[in-house]
Amino acid sequence: MVAELVAAPSLLVALVLLVNRIPVPPPPPKRPRGRPTMYSDRLFLKALVVTIVRHLSTVHELLAMLAEPTTEMRQVRALLTEQGRFPTRRTWERRLARLPQTLPAQIGCLGRHLVAVLQPWHDGGRAAAIDRTVLRAKGGVWHKRDREAGLVPHTSIDTEAGWTKSGWPGWVYGWKLHLVTTVAAVWLPLAADLTPANVAGGARTATWAAARHRVARHRLASVSSSHIPPHIISTDLPRARLTICDQASAL
């Protein structure tokens, strides 16, 4: 695998190849009703990496880029193919829209794997940090008077976002990223949650605190967001529900 990464023609191809190394959560014990899925969630996680690296916002842009007659795009397209099949446009749209539902479990699974491999608490105390940061919504803002009247003045407005007020930026319309990381020489994400900005941080912290018995022998600490490395905070993190990594099996 290392030789394959070294031989990769670009950073994008190398990153997509790395997704193959990420452990995935086990499938649900009971298959949901409906038609069986033809493509794995990992395939669309690779596509998510491509869209983030290349700053793509639509499936149309993704497919247009993959159609470019370059060596890099031919390799990326091959990595986005399973069992000799390449998803149709409709499949890309449907599965990428559902991808946020799978990311919480993926974050928890990856966090557990990284803790087991890197052992960040090997030479020190065991602690995790909880904090949050506000992210502005793309497009316009939905003012209170329009929301109460049920009016959406512009199609660019994200109607699922919310308002919040903080000391530095003032009033912000958008989202709030809640994050749990290890407190150690290596900062590893253990859980992430993206909520409307009007959701109180204390309420989310209380939810995590109630579930901390799942994070065996770890102390939850609150730190300033300025102490969280910038690479941990990403505005590209899709909306996702809370998942806490169960560290018991990793210790």
- Residue 24 corresponds to which tokens in the numbers above? 């995935």
Over residues 43-52, the mean pLDDT reads 93
Given this model, what pLDDT does residue 220 score?
Answer: 39
Highest mean pLDDT among 19-28, 35-44, 65-74, 214-223: 65-74
- Who contacts 87 (Cβ-Cβ below 8 Å, separation ≥6)? 39, 43, 80, 95
Mean per-residue pLDDT of the chain: 77
Q: 62 and 156 share a domain?
A: no
Cβ neighbours of 197 (radius 10 Å): 22
- Phi, psi of 182, deg, nearest 5: -70, 150
Q: Where does the chain show beta strands of DSSP type E? A: 127-136, 162-166, 170-182, 189-196, 219-222
In a domain, 100, yes or no: no
Given this model, what pLDDT does residue 218 score?
Answer: 40
Please give the Cα distance from 74 to 55 (Å, whole number): 19
Residue 115 has pLDDT above 80, yes or no: yes
Q: 39 and 155 share a domain?
A: no
Residue 230 has pLDDT above 50, yes or no: no
Q: 109 and 49 share a domain?
A: no
In a domain, 180, yes or no: yes
- Residue 103 corresponds to which tokens in the numbers above? 């990311």
Residue 57 has pLDDT above 70, yes or no: yes
Residue 236 has pLDDT above 90, yes or no: no
* Higher-pLDDT residue of 47, 166: 47
Q: 62 and 118 share a domain?
A: no
Over residues 51-68, the mean pLDDT reads 93
In a domain, 223, yes or no: yes
**Among residues of the chain, what percentage have pLDDT more than 70?**
75
Given this model, what pLDDT does residue 5 score?
Answer: 53
Q: 51 and 153 share a domain?
A: no
Measure the CA dihedral 145/150/152/157, to 10°: 80
Given this model, what pLDDT does residue 229 score?
Answer: 36
At 244, the pLDDT band (50, 70, 90 cuts) reads very low
* Higher-pLDDT residue of 36, 97: 97
Could you give the number of structural domains in the chain?
2
Residue 14 has pLDDT above 80, yes or no: yes
Q: Which residues pair with 194 in a beta bridge?
A: 177
In a domain, 126, yes or no: yes
Given this model, what pLDDT does residue 243 score?
Answer: 37
Given this model, what pLDDT does residue 77 score?
Answer: 94
Given this model, what pLDDT does residue 30 score?
Answer: 74
Over residues 144-173, the mean pLDDT reads 86
Q: Containing domain of residue 194, as a range?
A: 105-250
Given this model, what pLDDT does residue 79 score?
Answer: 94
